[in-house]
Amino acid sequence: MRVAVTGSTGLIGSALVESLASGGHQVVRVRRGAPAGSGAAAIAWDPESGTIDREGLRGADAVVHLAGEPIGGSRWTPEHKRRIRDSRVQGTRLLAEVLAGMDAGPRALVCGSAIGFYGADRGDEILTEESGPGNGFLAGVVREWEAAADPARAAGLRVVHVRTGIVQSPKGGALGLQLPLFRRGVGGRLGSGRQWMSWITIDDIVGILTHALLTPGLDGVLNGTAPEPVRNAEYTRVLGHVLGRPAILPIPKLGPAVLLGKEGAEETALASQRVLPTRTEATGYVFCHRDLETGLRHVLRGA
């Protein structure tokens, strides 16, 4: 296939591009600053101004849309929250409207999404693709984000939303931030440690995106989380065990709140979501890493 990919330099996007290329597919990066008409190298777009190289898109079979302002790592100011929302909603709407209006072009749109849809804390409730939305800023963003793809869906394109959990990779994300602390033996649980963590290895999130891309007739929502979520205290114990380091120094809730602000910490670092990939497995995806220790040993080998 010829696949156009937005967000191709991010943690997930770069791994997906490498995987697709190694599988014999042709990848075209959709990126800002690419010269119009740059051919096979890239497709130019600017979601804020509502522009995209339609001719570049015309030659693609499908689009994987992963672009968006990073959610973590910065304090949740009103401006940062605006960028989180607008970067996702505007980009998705632009792609959906352009694809819907093309008489010849990609017929599948696979969109990154987030388990933030389910809200920051649903207790011990098991959440599947059939579960309703939760409350909070991210839940609202994800509802708008997914709805922004409606024009493509209405035009008959196959649209898939992959609600991604906490991606495990030493190259970035939550694990990348925690590794230096844990390797020095000063890692530990966050807050009470009772919050549920719906994790997934970088290999499996790439696998699910590829499954969504290559499975004819597959549309709707897939949860991009491993089948065995764990509480934060268990995650901490397993990570310390895999690294051969103690993990006994708890991090108070104040720590993430100082970095992200109270709201940002509650909706990301301290969020509790017990999400299962029920439909993902029902559609035929077979996980490489179902349990946390196996997954961490795999992604940390040689790291």
Residue 285 and residue 208 in contact, taking contact as beta carbons nearer than 8 Å: yes
Residue 34: per-residue pLDDT: 66
Residue 119 and residue 171 in contact, taking contact as beta carbons nearer than 8 Å: no
Q: Which CATH superfamily hosts domain 2-300? A: NAD(P)-binding Rossmann-like Domain (3.40.50.720)
Closest to 6 measured CA to CA, from 69, 55, 49: 69
Burial (0-12, 13-18, 19+ Cβ within 10 Å), 46 = middle
Residue 93: per-residue pLDDT: 98
pLDDT (average), residues 198-211 = 98
Give 13-51 pLDDT, tens digit per residue.
999 999 999 999 999 999 997 665 445 579 999 999 999
Residue 100: per-residue pLDDT: 97
Residue 145: per-residue pLDDT: 98
59 has a pLDDT exceeding 60: yes
Q: List the single range of 175-189, 202-216, 228-242 with lowest mean pLDDT.
A: 175-189
**Alpha-carbon span 264 to 72, nearest angstrom:** 8
Q: ∠264-139-175 over CA atoms, to 5°?
A: 50
pTM of the entire predicted model: 0.95
Give 135-176 pLDDT, tens digit per residue.
999 999 999 999 999 999 999 999 999 999 999 999 999 999
